[in-house]
Amino acid sequence: MRKIERPTILSAVMIDNKVNKVRTGEYYITPQGEPEFNMEFDNWLYQTVQEDKNCGSVILRLYSWSRPAITVGYNQDLNKVINWQILDNTIPVIRRITGGRAIYHDQSEITFSLTANLEIFPEAMRSISKTNQLISEAVVEVLAESGVISEWMSSSDPSFGRPTGKMAKSCFNSFSRFEIFSEGYKIVAGAQRRKGRFFIHQGSIKLNGISDCPAIGQKGTRLNNTIMETNSNSYKYTIDALSHNFLKVFPSKFGFEFLQIGDMAKFYSRIPESFEK
């Protein structure tokens, strides 16, 4: 297993005024992760939040991909998603913890996850649709701070919930409510998983364009003024370019504040044993 880069970790607190309780939080930046690590680490973060005895953890993570991979939704039938005959056998296929459709992730993509207790949202905004709306509003603000004008969709593709022939549409060749568009193209997709009071939301941000992946029917697009190269330093939009605005917008939107760099030694003592430290 490829050794991952050391992530940036920031601690945070969130104060619940109703009960005068301080909520802890962390922000992880883990660039160029191996595909298996990226998904397994999100799974582990989700489990970590559920095991928090104080039920107060908020974990926001921003990451990218060391090499291309396909992820599929938790409930998808692989044989209706993947054309195995034309799939490059060097591309891993991994099932996500969240729902949604198949996505081809490449090195240009920026991905995020938000894992927390539903209590970070106002009581009237804790349904799946309402939390999707709030998270999409936050991402639209992040993009605006980064110079990208976008909007979230108020309705879904009429065929989104219906099968369309033998193969299901890929995520970025369909759209559902609350996903984000710019210049007429879908640029952010998201999906959630819940267990009791806890949730994880995963989002794929494709500001640098969408790559072709015939094996899942994903068709490539390019936004204006983006550079697509194999060297991640050549992309116009990078984790470094967006991280400041995530740090600014998400705490403000959801009511917590990042205070200091976390304890790296503590982090590595908690990393899943199946991955090299």
Three-state SS at 201? strand
Q: Containing H/E element for 251?
A: helix 239-254
Residue 162 has pLDDT above 70, yes or no: no
Q: How confident is the model at residue 230 (pLDDT cuts 50, 70, 90)?
A: very low
d(CA 4, CA 63): 11
pLDDT digits (tens, 9 = 90+) for 34-46: 999 999 989 988 9
Residue 276 has pLDDT above 90, yes or no: no
- Span 160-182, average pLDDT: 76
Residue 147 has pLDDT above 90, yes or no: yes
Q: Which residue did the predictor score with more confidence, 46 or 272?
A: 46
Burial of 206 (0-12, 13-18, 19+ CB in 10 A): buried
List of residues 6+ apart from 47 with CB closer than 8 A: none
Q: Which residue did the predictor score with more confidence, 118 or 159?
A: 118
List of residues 6+ apart from 244 with CB closer than 8 A: none
pLDDT of the residue at 109? 97
Percent of the chain with pLDDT over 70: 74
Averaged pLDDT of the chain? 82
List of residues 6+ apart from 14 with CB closer than 8 A: 22, 23, 24, 25, 56, 58, 120, 251, 254, 255, 256, 257
Residue 161 has pLDDT above 60, yes or no: no
- Encoded tokens for 123: 């009581």
What domains does the chain contain, in order, with CATH numbers?
8-270 (3.30.930.10)
